[in-house]
Structure 1
Amino acid sequence: MLRYTAAALLSFYTLGVILTASHVGATPEASSKVFGMDFHKLVPRNTPLTNRLRRRQKTVTADITNGQIAYIINVTVGTPPQPFSLQLDTGSSDLWVPGAQSDACGQDPTFCQQYGAYDQAQSSTFQPVGQPGDFTISYQDNSGVQGDYFNDTLSIGKTEIKNMTMAVAQLASRPFGIMGIGYIAGESVAGPQSPNTTYPNVISQLQDQGYINTLAYSLWLNDLNSNTGSILFGGIDSDKFKGSLVVLPVQSSSSSSYTDFTVGLSSVSFTDASGKTAFSQENLAVPVILDSGTTITYVPDSILNPILSGVGAVNSAQLGGPVVPCSLGASPSTLNFGFGGNGGPIIQVPMNEMVIPIYDNNGAQPMLHGNTICSFGLDSGGNGPYLFGDTFLRSAYVVYDLTSNQIGIAETNFNATSSNLIAISDSNIPSATATATGAAVTQTFTGHPQQTLAATRNGGSQATGGLPSATFNLGHKNSAFTPGPPRLEAMTVVTGLVCLVSLFFGGSMLFMQ
């Protein structure tokens, strides 16, 4: 699943993404069949792409860039290798690359030169699969991709996956390719009309070709400002989380199949600056999807509206979504999300992970009635699906276990400088001490959600005057915090519309055709 804001997309185009190599250390226990990748910071777009990956004994380390709207991995496809920068997405299952003759490359050849375009005539290992046009995906914003399946060699550094089934997009309204690492049942060819046409995707091929023991990986995004983070296929890094992992069962869909990483949200609360609970909802049973392809977090209106009012957010069609004073990021308050019922894990999200700076085209932060304005990382999911994206995931260490249909989760250890890699060798997630099953839910959403601005932006106060007063104790009395220095990940927004355009560029609840 992929959901961006227009502001975030412009940040991507303006700054670009790049990979720089970094080694992920490994303990002896982790030196077998752990496939690791690092996230790194944005650098100027005109810097040459790199594609380095290190492998020591069966432990492989590579690099991924935190691109604000997407986490990007560099790969090559074909023989000789053709380089690509692809979005890493836990909410989809196909790997596709733009075609050299695609409409997207015709419209922006410079972008395709920078981030990759596949030319099958230049690869000696190219093999066509199926019929032309077999690959079709539609996304939540009514955009989509259409193209052809093929087999070729996929390489991440020195790690080669031979005969990898991928798709080359001929018609694409997405700006770059995607590496989906979800369930096989979530592939574009899967569905009631074609239940037996799935194929081994990236994570399956990593297991089949001996790189990992089991279909599992762990994700550590680190904080909003960080230039480090990692994903480990086939293992965990116990230095990257606090305490112990708690296991949550992945909840099946209404058809009893596993197509996405749905877990049961059982409570939401807000802890104010004094440490008191200013808002709380308990005994919930809300199906939420943990999705790295979504930039913010979408919740039911009954949860969203009291929080927006409490933090003094403005939400209107005029401003394009929830915005708050940037000073909120300095508040010691936290949003707390509980999963699995009594005894289940609670992930605390600090305000500086929910408050995202925005800039106009001149590099200035917009002002509203004397307040510097930032975007807020929580919004309405309408009638669903409810996607827990990067504004939540940065505060959590998450293990995605596709073999046993379970999620391991713990509070993240922000900015950890050491690593202790442990391979996952069986159905047990290492360092997991409990299983929380008290919030059983069923993912009932199917099809293609039709969301409008009014439907998705209907909480909080309207911008009829100045910013409203917060009702929660955020650590100050009727005065703004002094904003800190701007963050490197600040979004760029189009001038006009009060310099606060955050209409959806896209979004994916993926559905199969």
Structure 2
Amino acid sequence: MIGRMSRFFGFYVISWKKNRINRRVDAFEIIPNSRMMKAILFLAFVATTSAFRLPFQVAPAVTNITKGGQTLEQTGTYFVANLTLGTPGQLFTVVIDTKTSDIVIPDVSCSSGFNCYNKRRFNQNNSSSYYAYGQQYTYKNNLGTFKGFVGKDTAVIGDRATDLITIPGVKILQATDIGIGIEGLNADGILGLAQTGASQIGGNSPFVQGVQMGDISGTFFSIWLEHFNQTDDLGTHGVIYYGGFDPVHCAPNPSYVPMSSGYLYQLTMNSFKSAGKSATNSNTKMNQVVLDTTTAQIILPTTYVSQILDSIGININTVTVFPPIVPCDTKVTLTFGFVSGTSITITERDLVVSFFGTCRLQVVPSVTGDAIFGIPLYRGRCTYFDPIMQRIGFTPALLQD
């Protein structure tokens, strides 16, 4: 479960509270300062989409969530948050996914072997607000292939009792077989926040449903992630803010770019530049790029990746494994321009990741030619997703150090 950042005498204190029956981390407990425990560093040995795994640490890094905001924490290369389903609510930890638009949760019948081991499972018989559809679906995303059936129930998102957002009548996939990417992950399911057109089960996007019928007042949500190594927790925290501007972490007045797809959060990129110690390379070819929170790297056409590596003195033909190993003191700045005139930059601070003394550049060539902006994009900035107005906004983060 994601810990709730609760205030205690002017500061925030978090500790583990374990369920002694199954030994899983089940909740957080607020404790007096005299009993404060140091955060424990865990290596999350989980299946991910990257060639290596990042450390996962729980620490009180995000200490000033305001109304409408929800804490994000990293597990493996994914960011997760809290979700409850049903009446009364059944609690789940879900991966935030901007490339799909459905809620996927293990069903109580998912119990074969390791498949749903140590996962919370949804029991429709314990919910007075549940409605059965029953259609069978096979569901695919970055976390694998899921099989199950569809129901409808009330979803609640948020961390604190005063800020909970209720979304009635949301379609959910009750998975009887879960994807391999989530089997060993410290998460139960998926909260898809893409546009309604991306639904694989014929449902409304949970976020759009919340705007139309629930407690979400604005047409957009934002995601802010810490810079990598920004704090002692290695940059494993962030905030997702529903229906308004995040006044704590985000500068005002985002620059908007119109979306080029009615399904995905997709933008038209019309310029690119890579500046490093060896060269500055640019490209003005027009490309479509998808914003995805379940992709660990920046994925670009091979030509772009070759230009990036060339700018730091590496020939792409010498690279055998991606993400490529680079010197840990590598300096590189990537600038992406869009048709609206807006541009964004990503630097080595979030592109060069150290893992057990080896540094890798979080840039990978696309096998399909498609471009995808993964986790490095969201670090050190606020990204606004507006499926109603069909636009994406960018603004600098207020908390940069």
Contact kept? 2:298, 2:376, Cα under 8 Å:
yes
- Match of 2:89? 81
- Match of 1:271? 275
- The TM-score normalised by the length of structure 2 is 0.74
> Where in structure 2 are the equivalents of 1:6-405 lying within 5 Å?
18-21=2-5, 46-50=24-28, 59-102=67-110, 106-107=113-114, 110-112=117-119, 116-129=120-133, 131-133=134-136, 135-139=137-141, 143-156=144-157, 158=161, 159=164, 160-174=166-180, 175=182, 176-189=188-201, 198-225=202-229, 226-237=235-246, 240-241=249-250, 244-252=253-261, 258-272=262-276, 278-312=279-313, 320-328=321-329, 331-340=330-339, 344-358=341-355, 365=356, 372-405=357-390
3-state DSSP of counterpart to 1:240: coil
Contact kept? 2:297, 2:364, Cα under 8 Å:
yes
Q: In 2, Cα distance between the equivalents of 1:390 and 1:380?
A: 16
3-state DSSP of counterpart to 1:48: strand
Q: C-alpha deviations, 1:392-437, integer Å up to 9, x for none?
A: 2214421111111111123444447xxxxxxxxxxxxxxxxxxxxx
Q: In 1, Cα distance between the equivalents of 2:318 and 2:110?
A: 35
Amino acid at match of 1:78: G
Q: Which stretch has the larger CA shift, 240-249 or 119-128?
A: 240-249
The Cα shift of 1:124 comes to 3.1
- Match of 2:47? none
Q: In 2, Cα distance between the equivalents of 1:42 and 1:267?
A: 47
Seen in structure 2, the aligned counterparts of structure 1 residues 68 and 339 have a Cα distance that, compared at 3 Å, is farther
Amino acid at match of 2:291: L
Contact kept? 2:269, 2:287, Cα under 8 Å:
yes
Seen in structure 2, the aligned counterparts of structure 1 residues 59 and 211 have a Cα distance that, compared at 3 Å, is farther
Larger Rg: 1
Contact kept? 1:93, 1:201, Cα under 8 Å:
yes
The Cα shift of 1:128 comes to 0.6
Contact kept? 2:208, 2:387, Cα under 8 Å:
no
3-state DSSP of counterpart to 2:350: helix
Amino acid at match of 2:168: K
Identity of aligned residues (%): 21
Contact kept? 2:170, 2:209, Cα under 8 Å:
yes
Q: In 1, Cα distance between the equivalents of 2:135 and 2:203?
A: 17
3-state DSSP of counterpart to 1:383: coil
- Match of 2:34? none
**Structure 2 unaligned residues grouped into runs of 5+:** 8-13, 31-65, 183-187, 230-234
Contact kept? 1:100, 1:117, Cα under 8 Å:
yes
Amino acid at match of 1:111: N
> Where in structure 2 are the equivalents of 1:418-457 lying within 5 Å?
none
Q: C-alpha deviations, 1:11-54, integer Å up to 9, x for none?
A: xxxxxx7423258xxxxxxxxxxxxxxxx9999994433599xx
- Match of 1:472? none
- The TM-score normalised by the length of structure 1 is 0.59
The Cα shift of 1:69 comes to 1.4
Contact kept? 1:74, 1:86, Cα under 8 Å:
yes
Contact kept? 1:219, 1:231, Cα under 8 Å:
yes
Contact kept? 2:294, 2:374, Cα under 8 Å:
yes
Contact kept? 1:216, 1:403, Cα under 8 Å:
yes
Q: In 2, Cα distance between the equivalents of 1:62 and 1:51?
A: 17
Amino acid at match of 1:49: A
Bigger strand share:
2
Seen in structure 2, the aligned counterparts of structure 1 residues 243 and 96 have a Cα distance that, compared at 3 Å, is closer
Seen in structure 2, the aligned counterparts of structure 1 residues 238 and 264 have a Cα distance that, compared at 3 Å, is farther
Seen in structure 2, the aligned counterparts of structure 1 residues 323 and 282 have a Cα distance that, compared at 3 Å, is closer
Contact kept? 1:347, 1:411, Cα under 8 Å:
no
Q: In 2, Cα distance between the equivalents of 1:74 and 1:153?
A: 14
Amino acid at match of 1:137: Y
The Cα shift of 1:319 comes to 5.8
Contact kept? 2:69, 2:242, Cα under 8 Å:
no
Contact kept? 1:298, 1:388, Cα under 8 Å:
yes
Contact kept? 1:223, 1:394, Cα under 8 Å:
yes
| Equivalent pairs, count | 340
Q: In 2, Cα distance between the equivalents of 1:300 and 1:75?
A: 36
Q: C-alpha deviations, 1:281-310, integer Å up to 9, x for none?
A: 242311001111211111011110122243
The Cα shift of 1:335 comes to 1.9
- When the two chains are superposed, the root-mean-square deviation of aligned CA atoms in Å is 3.3
